[in-house]
Amino acid sequence: MARITIADVAREAGVSTMTVSRVLNNKGEISDSTREKVQQIISRLNYRPSMVARSLASNSTRTLGLLVPDIANPFFPEIARGAEDVAWEHGFSLILCNTVEDQEREKRSLQLLEDKRVDGIVACSPRLPDDELIPLLERHPASVLVNRTAPSSIAGMIRRDDAYGAMRAVHHLLADERQALCLLAGPTYSHGGKQRIRGFTSALEATGHSVEPESIITCSPDEAGGYEAAKRLLETRLQVNGLVCYNDLVALGAIQACDEKGMRVPGDIAIVGCDDIRLASLATPALTTLRISLYELGANAVTMLLERMGGNRETDAVVIKPELIVRASAP
């Protein structure tokens, strides 16, 4: 399959490659007649310019990298969709990398994206420690982090206000006369987890409640994690009647554990999740949860990235306040 090149077009049209290049990019002055002639040849020959040659010459690939822990995790597809839509509108495409929660693969992915000379990257919840992440990011023209902080000269940031979310959940539970609250805080390494602890603690203390360390439990961010953590919790502290969870999956796991322990949700214990994934509304009981539009999160991340690529590093942090969706699990 010998591909048609710009030279073929030029020869056929009896002009120089330069002229063809100009009509391709609408640059410089060109007479209407030659422009039309060239365009005709282009479509007759079915010529498509090579972006790889173009990239080499122009030093820009019009490609972005999207790093996610796992696209199969229900949190990320919507983000990816939002990101791709905005990228598409601006003529960029997206390389998708799953880090599968593996630091080594995350590092390799970042390097791969550098090798491919992407024009910028959006990294969702990177797991690498700062001293590894920052140097890697610095080698990219621009980057935006989702749910993770970095110096604004290095990367933009966009995240959910998890502290606010936890606070909101606590107030909601307190208003329902629930006093014995616990937090399933997610993994220790999670930035969002720490935020939730902050919000949870300060909301309780501000309302005159004391918070014991045992009421905050770490867990893996999935159903299994929620199940086990809740089980442990119910075996030690039977008086708990309100539970704030790291995310919806954790909440679902917790519900299952409660079922098994014979505790009714929300009768004996109210449960609040986070994310509002699809099945939050379809589970039994339907999950009260904190939500933000993940589509917009992804879309905003890319918008911000494009800004930064354009040299504008003004808006360096966007924080989105989640909305509390009240359903059966915590009325």
Q: Which residues bind DNA (CB under 7 A)?
A: 3, 5-7, 14-19, 21-22, 24-25, 27-31, 33-35, 47-50, 53-54, 56-59
Interface with a copy of itself (CB under 8 A), residue from 112, 174, 318, 328: 112
Q: Name which of 139 and 319 has its Cβ closer to a copy of itself.
A: 139
Interface with a copy of itself (CB under 8 A), residue from 97, 144, 166, 219: 97
Residue 147 and residue 192 in contact, taking contact as beta carbons nearer than 8 Å: yes
Residue 61 touches which member of a copy of itself, DNA, none, C-beta under 5-8 Å by kind:
a copy of itself
Please report the beta strands in 188-269, taking only residues with DSSP state E, as ranges in sequence order: 216-217, 242-245
Residues in the chain: 331
Q: In this structure, what token pair is assigned to residue 273? A: 């999740």
Which are the contacts of 279, defined by CB distance < 8 A and separation ≥ 6?
A: 74, 248, 252
Residue 129 touches which member of a copy of itself, DNA, none, C-beta under 5-8 Å by kind:
none
| H or E stretch at 62 | none
Residue 24 touches a copy of itself, criterion: CB under 8 A:
no
Q: In this structure, what token pair is assigned to residue 206? A: 């501000």
Strand-pairing partners, residue 122, are: 66, 144
On the CB side of 32, how many CA atoms lie within 13 Å of its CA?
0
Residue 244 and residue 212 in contact, taking contact as beta carbons nearer than 8 Å: no
Q: Name which of 57 and 175 has its Cβ closer to DNA.
A: 57
Q: Which of 181, 124, 121 is nearest to 154 (CA)?
A: 121
Residue 2 touches a copy of itself, criterion: CB under 8 A:
no
Measure the N-to-C terminal CA separation of the chain; round to a whole number of Å: 64
Residue 85 touches which member of a copy of itself, DNA, none, C-beta under 5-8 Å by kind:
a copy of itself
Residue 115 touches a copy of itself, criterion: CB under 8 A:
yes
Residue 28 touches which member of a copy of itself, DNA, none, C-beta under 5-8 Å by kind:
DNA
Which residues contact a copy of itself (rule: CB under 8 A)?
1, 46, 48-53, 55-56, 61, 63, 66, 70-74, 76-78, 80-81, 84-85, 88, 93-98, 100, 105, 111-112, 114-117, 139, 141, 252, 278-279, 282-284, 295
